[in-house]
């Protein structure tokens, strides 16, 4: 590669990074603190989730990552004794405002959990459409929805000939992709994923990661992961959470994934991403 070609590629990469930095935030947490009863588990979390990007939340177990991701679509408030201070802004409006319907928020900001949770006795097709029925959403062309969402979740070619089979017949990785398709059927703008690959084999994990990369072209994704290589492979941005003994969790450092793993500014981040603790 000539010097001129190298400089052109470097400039293109710089422009891409700048564009990602300047992308409008679809979701934002401002000064979020969380309690369970009298125990404070998160303190003063501030983070933006730019539109159509993947943000990885990393950090040791017990530092509040899963708790935090549940605040982003009001699942946190379903836990007895849970409390929250601060704001979570979706398209500029606080989702915890008294005039905001939490059911509507959970349709716009979907969630995929650690363990696949399809309805095992329901058909594959029925699982995809179940979210529409449970939410009362009126959408035509169900066959098109099933094909489109299963394709987006990277599952269509594997199941298109057995849509009327029970979802329980699928492998664990296929079930997780089915759950993703089910979440996509209600057309969310944001998809939250709490360790979606932790129970899967390496081959299934790679398929889920490819699905995440493809989905991020249309959906903003936030993923909790303990897999550092996974964060590097799928995430545009990364936030490192940490909790000292007896203290609430907080964000130590956040930024472009390439910076967090390549040139972190905090020694604790450097130690964690290099496997020195956690």
| Model pLDDT for residues 131-153, shown as the tens digit of each residue | 888 877 777 889 999 999 999 99
Let me know if residue 7 belongs to a domain: no
Q: Give the confidence band of 199 by pLDDT, cuts at 50, 70, 90.
A: confident
Residue 68 contacts residue 57 (beta carbons within 8 Å): yes
Q: Give the confidence band of 278 by pLDDT, cuts at 50, 70, 90.
A: low
What's the pLDDT at 140?
80
| Model pLDDT for residues 183-194, shown as the tens digit of each residue | 999 999 999 999
Residue 113 contacts residue 132 (beta carbons within 8 Å): no
Average of per-residue pLDDT values in the chain = 90
pTM as predicted: 0.87
Q: Measure the CA dihedral 159/207/192/144, to 10°.
A: -30
Of 29, 77, 79, the C-alpha closest to 57 is: 29
What's the pLDDT at 173?
94
Of 232, 234, 236, the C-alpha closest to 261 is: 232
Residue 53 contacts residue 20 (beta carbons within 8 Å): yes
Residue 263 to residue 169: CA distance in whole angstroms: 45
What's the pLDDT at 136?
77
Let me know if residue 61 belongs to a domain: yes
Residue 5 contacts residue 65 (beta carbons within 8 Å): no
Residue 153 sits in a domain of what CATH number?
Answer: 3.40.50.300
Total number of domains in the chain: 1
Let me know if residue 6 belongs to a domain: no
Let me know if residue 3 belongs to a domain: no
| Model pLDDT for residues 6-42, shown as the tens digit of each residue | 445 445 444 544 444 445 678 999 999 999 999 999 9
Q: Is the pLDDT of residue 52 over 80?
A: yes
136 burial level (CB within 10 Å; 0-12, 13-18, 19+): exposed
Let me know if residue 15 belongs to a domain: no
Let me know if residue 58 belongs to a domain: yes
Of 252, 216, 275, the C-alpha closest to 52 is: 216
With left for phi above 0 and alpha for psi between -120 and 50, is residue 214 left, alpha or beta? alpha
Q: Which domain holds residue 123?
A: 24-273
| Model pLDDT for residues 217-274, shown as the tens digit of each residue | 999 999 999 999 999 999 999 999 999 888 999 999 999 999 999 999 999 999 999 9
What's the pLDDT at 23?
54
């Amino acid at each position: 590669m000539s010097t001129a070609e190298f400089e052109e590629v470097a400039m293109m990469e710089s422009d891409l990074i700048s564009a990602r930095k300047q992308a409008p935030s679809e979701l934002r947490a401002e000064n979020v603190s969380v309690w369970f009863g009298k125990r404070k588990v998160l303190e003063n979390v501030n983070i933006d989730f730019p539109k159509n990007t993947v943000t990885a939340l990393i950090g040791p177990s017990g530092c509040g990552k899963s708790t935090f991701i549940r605040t982003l679509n009001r699942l946190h408030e379903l836990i007895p004794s849970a409390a929250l201070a601060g704001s979570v802004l979706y398209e500029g409006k606080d989702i915890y405002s008294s005039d905001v319907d939490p059911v509507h928020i959970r349709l716009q900001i979907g969630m995929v959990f650690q363990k696949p949770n399809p309805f095992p006795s329901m058909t594959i097709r029925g699982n995809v459409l179940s979210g529409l029925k449970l939410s009362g959403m009126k959408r035509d062309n169900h066959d098109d929805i099933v094909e489109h969402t299963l394709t987006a979740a990277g599952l269509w070619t594997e199941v298109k000939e057995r849509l009327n089979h029970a979802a329980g017949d699928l492998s664990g990785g296929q079930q997780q992709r089915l759950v993703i398709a089910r979440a996509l059927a209600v057309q969310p703008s944001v998809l939250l994923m709490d360790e979606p690959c932790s129970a899967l084999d390496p081959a299934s994990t790679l398929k889920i990661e490819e699905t995440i990369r493809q989905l991020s072209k249309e959906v903003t994704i936030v993923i909790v992961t303990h897999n550092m290589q996974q964060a590097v492979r799928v995430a545009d941005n990364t936030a490192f959470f940490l909790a000292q003994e007896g203290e609430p969790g907080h964000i130590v450092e956040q930024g472009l994934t390439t910076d967090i793993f390549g040139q972190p500014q905090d020694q604790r981040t450097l130690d964690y991403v290099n496997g020195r603790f956690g």
